[in-house]
Amino acid sequence: MPRFFRKSEKKAGSSPGLQIDVQAASGTEPEICVLIYSKDSLETYHLPNIDAAPSLIQKNKTAWIQVTGIQNHFAFSRMGQLFNIHTLTLEDMVNPAHPPKFEDFDTYYYVTLKQLAFDPGNHEISETQVSIAVMENLVIFVQDKPSPCLKAVEKRLQSGRGNIRTAGPGYLAYALIDAVVDHSLDVIGQIASAVESVERDMLEDLNPGHLEQIHRLKREVIFFNKQLRPVRGAILSLIKSESPFVSDTVIRFYADILDHVNHILDAVTSLQELLSSMLDFYMSSQGNRMNEVMATLTIISTIFIPLSFLAGLYGMNFKFMPELEWQWGYFVLLGGMAVIGSAMVVFFKKKGWF
């Protein structure tokens, strides 16, 4: 499947919304974990399926439903019925290829994002889709496979420090989105390090391997940019949405995420410009090298080709070649060759060729 355009597996022209065909219904059941918390309490429930979740939710506590695994569409269909989630949202949740977005519904808002990681082995960025639906006192979090952002936020919830336990579902969603964006900060930091390290290397001692390094870094920056640029619009929409599930207090924190995203996008632009300049430097250095090589060849050839011709001339076996008979013919010729050769050297020196 292409990295630069993944497609959901739905056939063109099929019905909108979550499709429960035979294959999708028989997929692996998702793992369901529910956390119910308030200022002073935190309970964790591992459920066999989603149906038991609604009964766990309590009026004065916040619930966090963690869903891991998106193969079984039947389970998502059940979840949709239980929590009144639009079929288009459910479809987006089970689509690992959806670009980042924010969407505001009457009873919840929905955010989907890419969790990114940079594999230092093959120098490629990998992505995992995460989805967050925020309701009155409930956050539903969907991930294809276990992701670090969930673990980090769960740990903070367990420690009970800060206001994460008391600030409601909007703040929990903020914490999750912030963790996802923080990972992007790490990724762009690693890419920036790699770019600047190649640049230092090139300025010190250019070699042909730098070309592939530049291309691979450009490719990953393009990929990163594609995954992150829509996040800006999503966060901006969230801030301007006036959704009842985002309080004024929490909006300050979303603005902080926006700062991060802007910082990242500025860095992406700068890195693209720097990589462009590095490629231009590479290509021009190639040209310098070529000029040096060709000048060497031309100087040597231009000096010796005429001299060799003269030597060849007097190596001919004509019966009658008067110069050959002269007593000092050889030495006169050697002198002439020395003059011609020196003249050439002076000529090239004057032209600045070496």
Interaction site with Mg ion (CB under 5 A): 266, 268-269, 272-273, 276
Question: How far are the Cα atoms of 214, 303, 340 from residue 329, in angstroms, in the given order?
Answer: 61, 21, 16
Instruction: Select the binding partner of residue 86 from its own copies, Mg ion, none (C-beta < 5 to 8 A, by kind).
Output: its own copies
CA distance 223 to 225: 5
For residues 108 and 131, the answer to whether their CB atoms sit within 8 Å is no
Q: Pick from 146, 162, 244, 336 the residue near its own copies by CB under 8 A.
A: 162
Told to check if 14 binds its own copies by CB under 8 A, we report: yes
Told to check if 142 binds its own copies by CB under 8 A, we report: no
Told to check if 84 binds its own copies by CB under 8 A, we report: no
* Close Cβ partners of 226 (under 8 Å, ≥ 6 residues apart): 4
Closest of 105, 22, 34 to residue 90, by C-alpha: 105
Told to check if 288 binds its own copies by CB under 8 A, we report: yes
CA distance 274 to 193: 12
Q: Which 8-state DSSP code applies to residue 51?
A: G
Closest of 136, 124, 142 to residue 71, by C-alpha: 142
**Apex CA 138: angle with CA 255 and CA 259, to 5°?**
10
Lookup: tokens for 330: 């050889």
Closest of 217, 132, 120, 244 to residue 179, by C-alpha: 132
Which of the ranges 41-49, 56-64, 234-242, 316-324 carries the binding residues for its own copies, by CB under 8 A?
Answer: 316-324
Told to check if 145 binds its own copies by CB under 8 A, we report: no
Which class for 265: exposed (0-12), middle (13-18), buried (19 or more C-beta within 10 A)?
A: middle
Told to check if 79 binds its own copies by CB under 8 A, we report: no
Q: Please, what is the minimum distance in Å from the beta carbon of residue 204 to its own copies?
A: 11
Instruction: Select the binding partner of residue 166 from its own copies, Mg ion, none (C-beta < 5 to 8 A, by kind).
Output: none
Q: Quick one: 263 or 349, whose CB is closer to Mg ion?
A: 263
Told to check if 166 binds its own copies by CB under 8 A, we report: no
Which of the ranges 23-31, 45-53, 64-72, 189-197 carries the binding residues for its own copies, by CB under 8 A?
Answer: 189-197
Give the x-and-dash track for 193-222 against its own copies (CB under 8 A).
x-xx--x---x----x--xx--x--xx--x
Closest of 155, 294, 174 to residue 238, by C-alpha: 174
Q: Please, what is the minimum distance in Å from the beta carbon of residue 288 to its own copies?
A: 5
Q: Quick one: 78 or 98, whose CB is closer to its own copies?
A: 98
CA distance 267 to 274: 10
Told to check if 148 binds its own copies by CB under 8 A, we report: yes
Q: Pick from 263, 343, 345, 346 the residue near its own copies by CB under 8 A.
A: 263
SS3 call for 348: helix
Q: Please, what is the minimum distance in Å from the beta carbon of residue 37 to its own copies?
A: 15
Told to check if 324 binds its own copies by CB under 8 A, we report: yes
Told to check if 122 binds its own copies by CB under 8 A, we report: no
